[in-house]
Amino acid sequence: MRLIGFSLNKIHVDKSLKKLEDVKINTKIDLSSIEEVKSDFFKFKEEAIAINFSFTIDYSPDLAKIELSGSFILAVESKLSKEILKSWKDKKLPEDFRMLLFNLILKKSTLRALQLEEEMNLPLHIPLPSFKKQESQD
């Protein structure tokens, strides 16, 4: 499986003027559609599928919300493509593909969300690496 294309179609941030105290941060990934892509532009053995998604970070209670929506185009082996499209009719996906897809969405969306959080002065939804003073072992 190869990533052929990625784009964000919507970037939206709402922030209230309330104090950011006792913040609970929840993230959510939704898949809105998965469909086969037919195009003379793509010249490879695999089949192309398009996946539309949304990634939301909600700062509760009603403090802020970041919404990203976008799409991927993936080149997938023909057998797997048929299995994905068939299972998607029931809004289900093969477990391995679902995990790979969610990790891809997290990777692409989290980078953009961190930038938006910094610009909007919001708490980061994931902890960044940091150095800590090592305790001396005398």
Place of tokens 């690496």: 129
Which segments of the chain does DSSP mark as H helices, in order? 78-88, 95-119
- Which residues, 6 or more positions from 17, have their beta carbon under 8 angstroms from its beta carbon? none
For residues 55-83, b (16+ Cβ closer than 10 Å) or e, as one string?
bbbbbeeebbbbbbbbebbbbbeeebbee
Higher per-residue pLDDT: 39 or 55: 55
Q: What is the pLDDT of residue 136?
A: 76
pTM of the prediction? 0.85
Indicate the residue type of 81: S
Tell me what the mean pLDDT of segment 98-108 comes to: 93
> At 79, is the secondary structure helix, strand, or coil?
helix
Average predicted confidence (pLDDT) for the chain: 90
Per the CB < 8 A criterion, the answer to whether 60 and 24 are in contact is yes
